[in-house]
Amino acid sequence: MTEIVLQPTGDQVRAFRDRETGEPISMLNLLRFREKAVYEDGRESALSGEQAYHLYGKAFKEIMEPKGARIVYSGEVRGFLIGEGEGAWDAVAVIEYPSTQVMLDMFRNEEYQKAQQHRAAGLVGQMLVECGPGFNFG
């Protein structure tokens, strides 16, 4: 199984930046929640990981929707029809950004950085798959 992590490596961020085309991108988010939220500052919390992540999601929408980001789809993972890895992911989301630069700017946004505490508290790990133009299904 693929390693589940929370943050990109420096090489991944550089490669992401270097793929910038100025066109919209979509990010496929695969999410694995903690059973109970664990905050880095050690605070006690009665929140589940999913509840903590919802706090992050609410802040994400408030910060990023005015910048043109939009949640195209989100839902729970019910099971696999094809492939292996059953149980590795709890939820999936597809988020569209107007450009790579909008997402890169998000990482430096102070309000977004504050919201990250809930993301980190709620997730065991996440996989982000960058998607862009170039494939036409039909």
Tens-place pLDDT, residues 92-130:
999 999 999 999 999 999 999 999 999 999 999 999 999
**Ordered domains of the chain (ranges, CATH):** 10-131 (3.30.70.100)
DSSP labels, 70-91: EEEEEEE----SSSS-TTS-SE
On whether the CB atoms of residues 122 and 52 are closer than 8 A, the answer is yes
The residues of the chain scoring below 50 in pLDDT are 1
Predicted pLDDT at 1: 42
Predicted pLDDT at 107: 92
Q: 92: exposed, middle or buried (C-beta count within 10 Å: 0-12, 13-18, 19+)?
A: middle
Predicted pLDDT at 6: 81
